[in-house]
Amino acid sequence: MNLKKNLVFIPGIILAFVLYSLSQGFNNIIGIELLGYSKSPISTAMISILLGIFFGNAFKVRDGFQKGLDFTRDYILKLGIICLGIQLKPFEFLEFGMIAIPLIVICIISVLIVIKILIKKLKIPTRMAYLISIGSTVCGTTAIMATAPVIKASKNEVSYAIANITLFGILSMLLYPYFANFYFDAEPLLVGLFLGTSIHETSQVAAAGLIYDQQFNSPETLNIATVTKLIRNTFLIIMIPLFAFLYNRGKTKEKSYSIVSIFPYFVLGFIGMIILRNIGDQFFIDNINDYWIETIDLIKFSSKVFLTMAMAAIGLSTNLKDIKDMGYKPFLVGFIAMLTVGIVCISTIEIYLKLFI
């Protein structure tokens, strides 16, 4: 019985892998065969999500594929992020974290203030505004889905908020790597902090970091962006109780919520992979070192395959009609939220540069 239940995931996972393979093939043809580069300057992750959006909207994705695509988008994505930890050392994690946390806090407070003003000006429903704000500042769809029950959001409000976050997240994912490279003069720390703080979804940050790595040969930027985003995700533990309090303030009965159910546990896996890398480096430095290096390279390669498969699954699940139908007011709020996070992030990084560098 369990075997039969598990088999339903396979078609969608295979479809995501096929799109990954097609993306890699297109990448090689365009970048190497046509443009003549030894290594393609085009991002496989970017091709993957664009192919997914094209096929997902040109053809109806059959129900038999959907469970596997959902599994890829949720779990294979997290596995890819966990595998990214093999590239980091603990002191790097702590170093990035000390810089990232103040930046994240400032961005969250700024967006909450701006959206509070927009609620009054545009007469947006409070629940919709809360969903868009937490999706913009913390971790996209995951934050929206976790917050919806505690503020009693309707299905339509949740769908609108997710469509909103998806649209602007994909837009920033595709544009920000190139903008950040230009604006921050290809400085890995600053680019990584910007990508990790200003883009909504964990998957979108991972994709933007991967695009940057593949375009500008900077794995360090991918590491910093990922660490910054994972730290940002943990703010769910603070934000959801806060939103529950704000929404239910003055009401007689509050809906219960569980910190355990919202904690992003894959962060622990990511940290565990960092620890494994450092133990391995110490243990194998003079003993079977070649095998250890090959293992690290395999895990790095696997992380990029898993992340690119997740990008394809996200693209296939992105319905452009839903985004079009959601109306202009939530669209405007989402756009302003995206701009606010980006501008505040840039301003804060500039202040950091003047004070500490």
> How many other C-beta atoms can be found within 10 angstroms of the C-beta atom of residue 65?
20
Q: Give a yes or no: residue 16 inside a domain.
A: no
Q: Which residues contact 296 (CB under 8 A, 6 or more apart)?
A: 86, 277, 280
φ/ψ region of 185 (left if φ > 0, alpha if ψ in -120 to 50, else beta) reads left
Tell me the C-alpha distance between 176 and 139, whole Å: 17
Q: Which two tokens stand for residue 97?
A: 């974290």
Residue with tokens 């190139």: 178
From first CA to last CA, the distance across the chain in angstroms is 60
Q: Give a yes or no: residue 39 inside a domain.
A: no
> How many other C-beta atoms can be found within 10 angstroms of the C-beta atom of residue 34?
10
| pLDDT of amino acid 17 | 94
Q: Please tell me the total count of domains within the chain.
A: 1
Tell me the C-alpha distance between 268 and 275, whole Å: 10
Q: Give a yes or no: residue 301 inside a domain.
A: yes
Q: Give a yes or no: residue 247 inside a domain.
A: yes
Tell me the C-alpha distance between 345 and 342, whole Å: 5
Q: Give a yes or no: residue 324 inside a domain.
A: yes
pLDDT per residue over 156-168, tens digit each? 677 677 777 777 8
Q: Which residues contact 17 (CB under 8 A, 6 or more apart)?
A: 309
The residue-averaged pLDDT of 205-231 equals: 86
Q: Give a yes or no: residue 66 inside a domain.
A: no
Residue 24 amino acid letter = Q
Q: CA 324, 130, 67, 27 torsion: positive or negative? A: positive
Q: Is residue 191 very low, low, confident or very high in pLDDT (cuts 50, 70, 90)? A: very high
Q: Give a yes or no: residue 187 inside a domain.
A: yes
φ/ψ region of 206 (left if φ > 0, alpha if ψ in -120 to 50, else beta) reads alpha
pLDDT per residue over 51-102, tens digit each? 888 898 888 888 888 889 989 888 888 888 788 778 766 566 666 677 788 8
The residue-averaged pLDDT of 96-121 equals: 81
On the question of pLDDT at 182 being above 90, the answer is yes
CB 228 within 8 A of CB 192: yes
pLDDT per residue over 287-321, tens digit each? 667 788 888 889 988 988 988 898 888 888 877 77
**What does the chain come to in residues?**
357
Q: Measuring CA to CA, which residue among 205, 207, 204 is closest to residue 194?
A: 205
Domain boundaries, position 236: 88-305+317-356
| pLDDT of amino acid 93 | 63
Q: Give a yes or no: residue 154 inside a domain.
A: yes
The pTM (predicted TM-score) of the whole model is 0.69
Which ranges of 288-327 does DSSP label H, i.e. alpha helix? Answer: 289-316, 320-324
Q: Is residue 1 very low, low, confident or very high in pLDDT (cuts 50, 70, 90)? A: very low
| pLDDT of amino acid 38 | 61
